Structure 1
Amino acid sequence: MSLKEKVGDILKGNNKEIFNYLVFGVLTTLVNYVSYFGATRWLKINYIVANIIAWFISVVFAYVTNKFWVFEDKSLEIKKLVKEVFMFFAARVMSGGVETLMLFVFVTLLGFDDGVIKIVASVFVVIFNYVVSKFFIFNGEKDCI
């Protein structure tokens, strides 16, 4: 299938994998927000600690949903699972760091609106996370690393 055909399928909504990635991405965001606000508002946990807890819970949720429903990787081999979990968390730490750096540079140093930069940074993070997950983590029998 040519690149033009793939883009056409995506725009027509015919790409189940990308559709599922976006749906579970929204759900992951909800898990993150519910965890964060539950921890800060109901449990009265410090917002930094709450953010770390929410990040961890949402990354675990994202791993499970990406593995089984987005990329339909059904392998439960321990060696493969350990590698996937490590790589998934490492990639999410990296993308979270990039997002935080973008916010710091564009908001703190350059004075842009944080809401706009958060959205722009999120677009880059979503694309980065998808590519890393698709080609390096849940890549079937291929070994890209």
Structure 2
Amino acid sequence: MKKLLSIYKQQKQVIDYLFWGVMTTVVNILVFALLHWLTDWNYLINNTIAWLLSVLFAYISNKVYVFHSYTETRKEVAKEMASFFLGRFASYFIEQGIMILGISGLKWNEIVVKIIANVVVVIVNYFWSKWAVFKKKGSES
């Protein structure tokens, strides 16, 4: 048990990010699936709506629970949010590209492609968040 606790302490940020990344992915896939089943909208529209809701969820959970980012001024909050959303917007295009390739190109199941796209996006987003958005002041970590 001590060994597990030691590993958790050493890798806490990565473990927390993975947990909240999974929660964000659940929000993303659940919204996408509900829209897929309940509407006749194009999958790219469904994906965009799911992306918007999951990014809002991700910003809050990453700021509060993963990177414990404290911002003192509205300007700092605006800069942090802009950086976060900019990075997520870039990964949105990666996700849309995977969706188009998998669904329109390869004719795979929409939900399966959505899950594959989310795995890729979670990895990209972790590094963007860690290195560009929630980096510690005065630190290169």
The TM-score, its normalising length taken from structure 2, stands at 0.71
1:93 to partner: Cα distance: 1.4
Question: Following the alignment from structure 2 to structure 1, what is the Cα–Cα distance between the partners of residues 31 and 101?
Answer: 27
Question: Following the alignment from structure 2 to structure 1, what is the Cα–Cα distance between the partners of residues 98 and 41?
Answer: 24
Q: Is the 8 A contact 2:69 2:134 kept in 1?
A: yes
Task: Tell me the amino acid that sits aligned with residue 86 of structure 2.
Answer: A
Gaps of 5+ in 2: none
SS at match of 1:141: coil
Question: Residue in 1 aligned with 2:29?
Answer: 33
Question: Residue in 2 aligned with 1:58?
Answer: 54
SS at match of 2:130: helix
Question: Following the alignment from structure 1 to structure 2, what is the Cα–Cα distance between the partners of residues 87 and 136?
Answer: 7
Question: Residue in 2 aligned with 1:46?
Answer: 41
Q: Deviations over 1:45-73 (max 9, x none)?
A: 62443322211010000010011101011
Q: Which stretch shows the higher mean deviation, 134-143 or 80-89?
A: 134-143
Gaps of 5+ in 1: 1-8
Task: Tell me the amino acid that sits aligned with residue 36 of structure 1.
Answer: F
Question: Residue in 2 aligned with 1:86?
Answer: 82
Question: Following the alignment from structure 1 to structure 2, what is the Cα–Cα distance between the partners of residues 66 and 80?
Answer: 16
* More RCO (CA 8 Å, sep 6+): 2
Identity percentage over the alignment? 32
Question: Residue in 2 aligned with 1:75?
Answer: 71
Question: Following the alignment from structure 1 to structure 2, what is the Cα–Cα distance between the partners of residues 83 and 38?
Answer: 33
Question: Residue in 2 aligned with 1:130?
Answer: 126
The TM-score, its normalising length taken from structure 1, stands at 0.70
Task: Tell me the amino acid that sits aligned with residue 46 of structure 1.
Answer: W
Note closer, same or farther for the CA distance 1:53–1:143 as it changes in structure 2 (3 Å cut).
farther
